[in-house]
Amino acid sequence: MNDESPSLAVPVNAQDHIQGLESAPVTLVEYGDYECPHCGAAYPIIKAIQKKLGPKLRFVFRNFPLTSMHPFAELAAEAAEAAGTQGKFWEMHDAIYENQESLGEEMLEELAQKLELDINRFNSDIKNRKFKEHVKKDFIGGAKSGVNGTPSLFINGERFDQNIDGQLLLDALSSAVV
Amino acid sequence: MSTALKPGTKAPDFSLPSTPDQQVSLSEFKGRNIILVFYPSDWSPVCGDQLAVYNELAEVFESYNASLIGISVDGVWCHNAFCHDRKYHMPLLADFEPKGAIAKAYGVYREKEGLSERAIFVIDGEGMIRWSYVSPMEINPGADGILKALESLTSKAA
């Protein structure tokens, strides 16, 4: 039964997009959707917390696109993964959230150009749905972990069930440091 | 304490409308696993998120030979509008007349509010309840419990 708070079913691994050191005392895993406004609101909060906690925090982003609600969420997730194979996952991740209000096919291609990706490779990866399976794997791992909407956050493997207002999250992460 | 029917209990059969001209009954799914999701009402934000997650998992549920059915006391036209708006693929049944009769049969009706609990039943192909869970009203239970239940169900069957 799920009497206890759900926990991360898939440990952080080499397939993940990771910022920070493996030796960091706290790992924050986000299951996010690029079109979700709550994820957009969480983005600068998490950025600020990363800055504050520095090397004490490791941050991992995994995909959880709710495609029936958000028509561009899957495309955006695959675009970020496509940028990732060209070494620019985080640049794309950040750029999408910073321009979330104009999310769409054109915007993603523009971002790819701005990030100086190999645009032919990027477009063909998108067209061939090269990262469809990767995104799906993230999603299923999230569902098994008890992701119940986006963003869902896990602190050292435990689901964080409070509002992602800056202070509550910072407090939870800070107390996990000790 | 929860009055929800427990694992090992035969799932009460039902036949309810999912659209103005379609009825869905439990018995027609014999041989298939069923995830029966009671939720308080269409349009409330928590239900929306909960069903949105399940909507994305249709393929995964299928791999466990399972179908998901949503059920609330809302009427068919309300379900119809809700389904279209959210682009849900699962059938939503109207436990509307007599109101909440099926929720009562499963022990998850709240008389005072006139709504069902947020409750999940995983029912096997023989119509036996194999897992049940009642979530606090305001908490979206996600899918981890369902997936665990389906996993143990299919591994026992294999």
pLDDT digits (tens, 9 = 90+) for A37-48: 999 999 999 999
Q: In the predicted model, is pLDDT for residue B129 greater than 90? A: yes
Q: Are B145 and A66 within 8 A, CB to CB?
A: no
A144 touches chain B (CB under 8 A): yes
Q: Are A7 and A154 in contact (CB under 8 A)?
A: yes
Domain annotation covers residue B3: no
Mutate to test the interface with B, among A148, A153, A160, A162 (most CBs of B within 10 A): A148
pLDDT digits (tens, 9 = 90+) for A82-129: 999 999 999 999 999 999 999 999 999 999 999 999 999 999 999 999
With contacts defined as CB-CB under 8 Å, which chain A residues touch B57?
Answer: 140, 143
Q: What distance in Å separates residue A30's CA from the closest CA in chain B?
A: 15
Number of domains in chain B: 1
| Residue B109 confidence class, pLDDT cut points 50, 70, 90 | very high
The whole-angstrom separation of Cα A117 and Cα A111 is 9
Q: What distance in Å separates residue B144's CA from the closest CA in chain A?
A: 4
Closest CA to B36 of B79, B74, B63, B4: B4
Handedness of CA B54, B55, B61, B63 (dihedral sign): negative
Domain annotation covers residue A62: yes
Q: What distance in Å separates residue A147's CA from the closest CA in chain B?
A: 6
pLDDT at A128: 98
A65, A149, A161: residue with CB nearest B49: A149
Give the bridge partners for B38, in sequence order: B71, B119
Mutate to test the interface with A, among B53, B54, B68, B140 (most CBs of A within 10 A): B53
| Residue A4 confidence class, pLDDT cut points 50, 70, 90 | low
pLDDT digits (tens, 9 = 90+) for A132-159: 999 999 999 999 999 999 999 999 999 9
Closest CA to A39 of A77, A6, A75, A13: A77
With contacts defined as CB-CB under 8 Å, which chain A residues touch B52?
Answer: 66, 68-69, 149
Across B97-106, average pLDDT: 98
CATH code of the domain in which B52 resides: 3.40.30.10
pLDDT digits (tens, 9 = 90+) for B67-88: 999 999 999 999 999 999 999 9
With contacts defined as CB-CB under 8 Å, which chain B residues touch A148?
Answer: 49-50, 53, 140-143
Domain annotation covers residue B74: yes
Domain that holds residue B84: 16-21+31-157
pLDDT at B155: 79
Domain annotation covers residue A11: no
Domain that holds residue A41: 17-177
Q: In the predicted model, is pLDDT for residue B44 greater than 90? A: no
pLDDT at B13: 97
Domain annotation covers residue B95: yes
Domain annotation covers residue A28: yes
B7 touches chain A (CB under 8 A): no
Number of domains in chain A: 1
The whole-angstrom separation of Cα B5 and Cα B151 is 21
pLDDT at B138: 85
Domain annotation covers residue B81: yes
The answer, yes or no, to whether ipTM is higher than 0.85 is yes
Active-site residue list of B: 47
Domain annotation covers residue B48: yes
